[in-house]
């Protein structure tokens, strides 16, 4: 079944089975390897792309539903890594293994596009379902705050990666990194 859609700003036509998930069209048919397979059931976020600016799980989107859609992958976020989220990710050294990062970045980019000054609660809600097996959640949250700051026009962040509110990144009692979903007070 031929389907034509915009991929990273370019009109693209593929001819695959109608029930093929976008994830596999991207990876196997179009050779876009930045979007990762994680769980295949839309629960981990590794396959996140943007559809008309909204973060969506590509493993759950059948290609037949995407005629005329506007899809952006990690490869299309910025060719030179100059997007605010990519800059913040690098500045704060967010990735550990890196497997989930494309999905994390695409979700974060969608968030700051809609909300240029997200709170911790906004970030928790937007990033819920993006799983990081290395538990870099605190750095992810700090980087989203930093990306929003960059997008708004600059500012600085402590070199030690502390949250923009100055709170430490680890739980003082246990020494372990806090989860993205634990709102630090």
Phi-psi group of 139: left, alpha or beta (phi > 0 → left; psi -120 to 50 → alpha; rest → beta) = alpha
Q: pTM for the complete prediction?
A: 0.83
Is residue 185 predicted with pLDDT exceeding 70? no
Read off the pLDDT of residues 29-74 as tens digits, 9 standing for 90 and up: 999 999 999 999 999 999 999 999 999 999 999 999 999 999 999 9
The number of folded domains in the chain is: 2
Whether residue 63 is found in the same domain as residue 135:
no
Tell me how far apart the alpha carbons of residues 1 and 63 are, in angstroms, rounded to a whole number: 9
Contacts of 163 (CB under 8 A, 6+ apart): 138, 141, 142, 145, 169, 184
Last residue of a domain, one of 56, 77, 98: 77
Whether residue 131 is found in the same domain as residue 87:
yes
Quote the pLDDT of residue 117: 96
Whether residue 88 is found in the same domain as residue 54:
no
The CATH number of whichever domain residue 173 belongs to comes to: 1.10.150.120
Domain of 110, in residue numbers: 79-180
- Confirm whether 185 is domain-assigned: no
Whether residue 57 is found in the same domain as residue 110:
no
């Amino acid at each position: 079944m031929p389907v034509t859609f915009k991929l990273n700003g370019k009109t693209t036509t593929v001819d695959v089975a109608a029930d093929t998930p976008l994830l596999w069209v991207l990876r196997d048919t179009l050779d876009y390897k930045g979007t990762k397979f994680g769980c295949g059931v839309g629960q981990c976020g590794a396959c996140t792309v943007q559809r008309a600016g909204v973060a969506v799980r590509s493993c759950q989107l059948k290609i037949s539903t995407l005629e005329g859609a506007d899809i952006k992958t990690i490869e299309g976020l910025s060719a030179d890594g100059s997007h605010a989220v990519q800059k913040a990710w690098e500045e704060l050294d967010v990735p550990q293994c890196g497997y989930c990062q494309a999905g994390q970045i695409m979700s974060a980019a969608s968030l700051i596009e809609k909300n240029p000054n997200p709170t911790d609660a906004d970030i928790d809600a937007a990033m819920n379902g993006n799983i990081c097996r290395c538990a870099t959640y605190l750095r992810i949250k700090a980087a989203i705050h930093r990306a929003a700051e960059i997008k708004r026009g600059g500012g600085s962040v402590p070199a030690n990666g502390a949250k923009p509110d100055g709170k430490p990144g680890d739980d003082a009692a246990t020494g372990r990194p806090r989860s993205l979903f634990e709102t630090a007070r």
